[in-house]
């Protein structure tokens, strides 16, 4: 008799948090289709381990950690490197805010190594503390600090406008 309650509880949680998980997944991988795959795999893992997950003090934290671990595990496999990527956004027909800064930030974020990208997403999008991000990533606080520092430096280098050679000569 516990099964319908378990399934109903799981369904209610997933229905309420699927959009949030998809946004976090997109920020990690930079592709909506791949984000959907990551969320689907995460939801499957949550269902399999729902008895443990539902007892967690922070169910969102458990789900987020599962998502990040799924993303990082996928990065270690070679299948995703064989997929053909193009600069054409398949969702370009959808009317959306197409701000240059947003596109630049997305490209810069996508250029970061996976662990740095995961650290930036957890710290600055999910608004986790250093210790919470370390727990979600399964690493030390010092590692989160160094990954954050390197990632922010790389983002600054990518996003800050460079003075042209002509402007440097006239200064």
Any idea which of 18-22, 91-95, 117-121, 158-162 has the lowest mean pLDDT? 91-95
Asked if 107 and 117 touch (Cβ cutoff 8 Å), the reply is no
Q: What is the pLDDT of residue 72?
A: 92
pLDDT over 70 (residue 50): yes
Over 80: is that where the pLDDT of 58 sits?
yes
- pLDDT tens for each residue of 72-120: 998 887 665 555 555 555 555 444 454 566 667 788 888 999 999 999 9
pLDDT at 53 over 60: yes
Span 3-18, average pLDDT: 89
User: Which residue ranges form the domains of the chain, and what is each CATH number?
Assistant: 1-81 (1.10.1740.10), 98-160 (1.10.10.10)
Tell me the mean pLDDT in the region 51-72: 94
Average pLDDT, the chain: 84
> DSSP labels for the chain?
-HHHHHHHHHHHHHHHHHHHHHHHHHHHHS-HHHHHHHHHHHHHHHHHTHHHHTTSS-HHHHHHHHHHHHHHHHHHSSGGGGS---SS-TTTTS-----HHHHHHHHHHHHS-HHHHHHHIIIIIS---HHHHHHHHTS-HHHHHHHHHHHHHHHHHHHSPPPPHHHHHH-
User: 25 pLDDT exceeds 90?
Assistant: yes
Residue 34 — very low, low, confident or very high, per pLDDT cuts 50/70/90?
A: very high
- Average pLDDT on 109-136 reads 92
Check residue 95 and give its pLDDT.
46
Angle 42-47-50 (CA atoms, 0-180°, nearest 5)? 115
Residue 18 CA to residue 138 CA, distance in Å, equals: 23
Residue 105's pLDDT is 78
């Amino acid at each position: 008799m516990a099964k319908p309650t378990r399934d109903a509880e799981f369904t209610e949680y997933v229905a309420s948090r699927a959009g949030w998980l998809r946004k976090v997944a997109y920020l990690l991988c930079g592709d909506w289709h791949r984000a959907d795959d990551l969320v689907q795999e995460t939801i499957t893992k949550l269902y399999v381990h729902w008895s443990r997950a539902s007892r967690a003090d922070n169910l969102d934290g458990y789900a987020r950690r599962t998502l990040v671990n799924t993303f990082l595990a996928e990065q270690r496999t070679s299948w995703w490197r064989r997929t053909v990527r193009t600069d054409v956004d398949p969702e370009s027909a959808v009317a959306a805010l197409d701000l240059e800064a947003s596109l630049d930030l997305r490209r810069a974020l996508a250029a970061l190594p996976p662990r740095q990208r995961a650290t930036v997403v957890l710290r600055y999008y999910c608004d986790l503390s250093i210790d919470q991000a370390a727990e979600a990533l399964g690493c030390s606080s010092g590692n989160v600090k160094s990954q954050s520092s390197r990632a922010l430096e790389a983002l600054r280098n990518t996003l800050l406008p460079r003075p042209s050679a002509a402007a440097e000569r006239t200064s």
